[in-house]
A = this chain, B = another copy of it.
Amino acid sequence: MKKAVVLLSGGLDSTTCLALAASEGYECYTLSFDYGQKHNAELNAAKKISQKYTVKRHEIIKLSIGNLGGSALTDDSIAVQDYSGSTDIPLTYVPARNTIMLSIALGWAEILDADSIFIGVSSVDYSGYPDCRPEYINAFRNMANLATKRGVEGNPIAIVTPLINLTKADTLRLGLSLGVDYSQTVSCYKATDEGLACGRCDSCYLRKKGFQDAATMDPTRYI
């Protein structure tokens, strides 16, 4: 049975990726990170979703990068701002986050002898982070081929980005066709520990707009 490591934050995109990998017959290993986020709602959602999809193993890697500061997602001195429509890279950007997470996924995939890593990045409806773009993903693939024993042996681990060209509405339509229960997913940057969303941050804005554009009921539990 082919194996996949699936990066799972517990949000809308990564849960759709997991549903897709499972539907394609992969034995799934989900990977989440406790990197000093301000709330636990995402990790709690990732745990429940991993159970629902009966993944082979769900690993939460503790990673003390929150100490380094620099992002509104981990640094108490920087507030998460409401959606403003700005095209600047926002304060919620965690420097090199996707690179760090993909690197750890790469190590685990090599240990498991997994064929693929699934990551739910999108370069369409996103918050302007540089590490969500196709040119970044391609550069990571190239680096990964050179970094690993598998790559050197000519059997590289695939970096699969099924959502990269999808709008949030497209992603929702894909997930709904796969039976995803989006009420279980948490996207909000400021969610309560119970998983209630603020409805006002960038992530809530993109999610809410996705449900509107897909003309489907939004099951998000707002404060």
A65 engages B69 (CB within 8 Å)? no
How distant is the Cα of A148 from the Cα of B133 in the complex, in angstroms?
Answer: 11
Given contacts A107-B97, A152-B130, contact A147 B136 (CB under 8 A): yes
How distant is the Cα of A140 from the Cα of B64 in the complex, in angstroms?
Answer: 22
* Cβ-based interface call for A99 (8 A): yes
* Cβ-based interface call for A104 (8 A): yes
Given contacts A110-B95, A139-B142, contact A62 B59 (CB under 8 A): no
* Cβ-based interface call for A98 (8 A): yes
Given contacts A143-B140, A147-B136, A148-B130, contact A107 B111 (CB under 8 A): no
* Cβ-based interface call for A67 (8 A): yes
> Nearest-CB distance from A198 to chain B (Å)?
25
- A12-65 contacts to B (CB < 8 Å): 59, 61-65
How distant is the Cα of A100 from the Cα of B136 in the complex, in angstroms?
Answer: 16
Total interface residues in chain A, CB < 8 Å: 43
* Cβ-based interface call for A79 (8 A): no
Given contacts A62-B62, A95-B149, A96-B147, contact A69 B111 (CB under 8 A): yes
Interface of A is mostly: helix
How distant is the Cα of A62 from the Cα of B98 in the complex, in angstroms?
Answer: 18
Chain B residues within an 8 Å CB radius of A61: 63-65, 67
How distant is the Cα of A217 from the Cα of B95 in the complex, in angstroms?
Answer: 43
- A134-172 contacts to B (CB < 8 Å): 135-136, 139-140, 142-149, 151-152
A130 engages B103 (CB within 8 Å)? no
Closest 4 CB pairs of A and B: A70-B111, A96-B107, A95-B110, A139-B143
12 sampled A-B residue pairs with Cβ under 8 A: A61-B67, A63-B64, A68-B111, A93-B149, A95-B108, A96-B110, A96-B144, A99-B103, A100-B100, A131-B147, A136-B143, A139-B145
| B-binding residues in A (CB < 8 A) | 59, 61-65, 67-70, 89, 93-100, 103-104, 106-108, 110-111, 130-131, 133, 135-136, 139-140, 142-149, 151-152
